[in-house]
Structure 1
Amino acid sequence: MSETSQLKTTPDEGAESQKGKKRDRSASEERLIAAGTEIFSKHGYSAATTKMIAKKADVNESLIGRYFDGKEGLLLSIIERFIEDLRTEEPPYPAQATLYDELENYLLFKLNMKDDRDCLGRIIIVQCLTDNKFRKKALERIPIFTDPNLLKRLETLRDNGKIPATEDLEGICQDLEAYIHGVFLFDLILSETPEKEVFARARKFLARYTRGID
């Protein structure tokens, strides 16, 4: 084989090697996120250790520092992933004919996911209250978002004349998301208010909120 031929094959081999490394890293990150979610939920943030997480994920402990900049970074990545899953999940109920009905179904759908969010929610609250640096990082990386699925449904209602054309649809989505976060964190977790009471309050809130819009 000539020297020229060897030079031509080397870049291809290098590219394949880089792709393989990226796949390996991606697989390790996924295992660490899954393991971290389980360990944090089971033991809490303080009691969970990187050794426990790495053992559960079956990877070298040093990868937590390399890929996530430590235990705190891993928790933030887990929260980001969880919120992204919430953003992309299509509501299971059919599109509704009025703004009130659409928001009511959406709100109840999200609040009924309490069991899935409970452990992480408690961990977030504790860390934000006890660790100011974590709180700042969480606020930077986990903003209030607009759910694209809800926004699409509101746009359909507006196109059908059910919402005035002048209404800020993204603002409605953000208002509802902020309300859901508040109910979830303060009513369902901190106060442990019965769900029946929480849902009754939510319906009253929506009735007032949609008055003049719907």
Structure 2
Amino acid sequence: MTRQTAPAAPRKRDRDTSTRALLNAGIEAFADYGYDAATTRDIAARAGLNEQLITRYFGGKAGLLVAIYEDFLVRQHDVQVYAAAAPASGVQAEIEAFLLAKHAHFRETHKLVLVLVPRLLIDAETREQIDMALLERATTILTERLIALQRQGLIRADVDVVAMGDSIAFQSFGASFIAPAVRGTPESYIIAQLKGFARVVARGVAPDQPACHNPS
């Protein structure tokens, strides 16, 4: 009696591979057309996949946009480069390292951020989906390092380092994203401004030096 071989199960496309293909296709489509004009049909066609997978994996186009940006946050400069670097030994160097890492990230994701920011402003669905802890992770790391520097006596005890970290992050967004996007500010000028800002802030939070008294 001849044993019959059971039919082979249909080969399933690896989900990770499909997800990566859709993320890459979404980056291209959003960069080419913006959020509203980019369609899930076009994105799926670029990835060579069924359009329904966008809903299944990401919950729709808004979810795909959020997933793309969060993927950049994990893989690109914002978190990986800054977090991987050892803490600086001084306040100015730490602030400068943060600002330059964020600047590199904004350069890398400029077109994508141009698409994402308006969605965050006008679309509650997009805001609800984004992982704010991930979005703010680099700022959280900066704040933790500023706290450590304060404990070492390099930042005055009366300085609110949490507010300080938030202010530095806002400066980063304004200088590295808004300035080039709206004003076309040259790269060399931005870098100089970021370094100057780090220097000024460090001086402003430095412990007071004991007054020197000249002998009479």
- If the length of structure 2 is used for normalisation, what is the TM-score? 0.70
Equivalent AA in structure 1 for residue 79 of structure 2: T
Change (3 A) 1:34 1:124: same
1:63 equivalenced with 2:45 (yes/no): no
Decide which of 20, 30, 37 is 1:40's aligned counterpart.
30
Equivalent of 2:93, from 90, 96, 101? 101
State the match for 2:6 in structure 1: none
Show the counterpart of 1:115.
Answer: 107
**2:3 paired residue number:** none
1:145 aligns with 2:103: no
1:75 is matched with which residue? 65
Deviations 1:8-61 (A, max 9, x none): xxxxxxxxxxxx98x944443232122212222233323322122112222211
SS in 1 for 2:36: coil
Aligned pairs, number? 192
Runs of 4+ in 1 over 6 A off after TM superposition: none
Structure 2: gaps (5+ residues) = 1-10, 207-216
Match among 191, 194, 205 for residue 186 of structure 2? 194
CA deviation after TM superposition for structure 1 residue 193, in Å: 0.8
| Worse-superposed segment, 155-164 or 33-42 | 155-164
**Aligned to 2:63, what secondary structure does the other structure show?**
helix
Residue 209 of structure 1 aligns with which residue?
201
Corresponding position: 1:177 with 2:177: no
Q: Is the 8 A contact 1:150 1:173 kept in 2?
A: yes
Cα distance between partner residues in 2 of 1:209 and 1:178: 13
CA RMSD of aligned residues (A): 3.3
Identity %: 30
- Cα gap change, 1:110 to 1:133, in 2 (>3 Å): closer
Q: Do the aligned residues in 2 keep the contact of 1:36 with 1:53 (CA within 8 Å)? A: yes
